[in-house]
Copies of this chain bind each other. A is one copy, B any other.
Amino acid sequence: MIGVGFMGKAHSNAWRQVNHFFPELPAKVEITVICGRESAATERARGIFGWDRAETDWRKVVAAPDIDIVDIGTGNDTHCEMALAALAAGKAVMCEKPLARDLAEARQMLVAARRAGAVHMVCHNYRRIPAVALARQMIEAGELGGSIRHFHARYAQDWLVNPNFPMTWRLQKKLAGSGAHGDINAHIIDLGRYLIGEFKEVCGMMETFVKERPWPEANDSSARTAAAKKGKVTVDDAVSFIGRFANGAMASLEATRYGLGRKNHIAFEINGDQGSLYFDFEDMNRLKFYSANSAAGHKGFTDIIVTDREAHPYMRHWWPPGHLLGYEHTFIHTFADFIQAVVDGIPVQPTFLDGARCMAVMEAVADSSARRKWARVPSVK
Q: Residues of A at under 8 Å CB distance from B?
A: 6, 10, 12-13, 16-17, 19-20, 23, 47-50, 134, 137, 147, 149-150, 152, 154, 156-159, 161-163, 203-205, 207, 209, 238, 240-242, 244, 248, 250, 252, 254, 256, 258-265, 269, 271-276, 281-286, 288-290, 292, 294, 296-305, 307-308, 310-312, 319-329, 372-374
Contact = CB atoms under 8 A, between A and B. Distances in A.
A23 B324 CA distance: 25
Given A152-B154, A282-B322, A300 B261 contact: yes
A301 to B, nearest CB: 5
A170 to B, nearest CB: 12
A204 B241 CA distance: 10
A304 B298 CA distance: 6
Given A20-B16, A292-B161, A301-B302, A261 B252 contact: no
State the oligomeric state as a number of copies: 4
Contacts of A23: 47-48
Contacts of A205: 203, 242, 244, 250
A310 B298 CA distance: 12
Nearest to A163: B273
A259 to B, nearest CB: 5
A319 B323 contact: no
> Which 10 pairs of residues, A with B, have the shortest CB-CB distance?
A263-B322, A264-B322, A261-B290, A297-B311, A326-B326, A323-B327, A300-B304, A263-B321, A149-B258, A296-B311
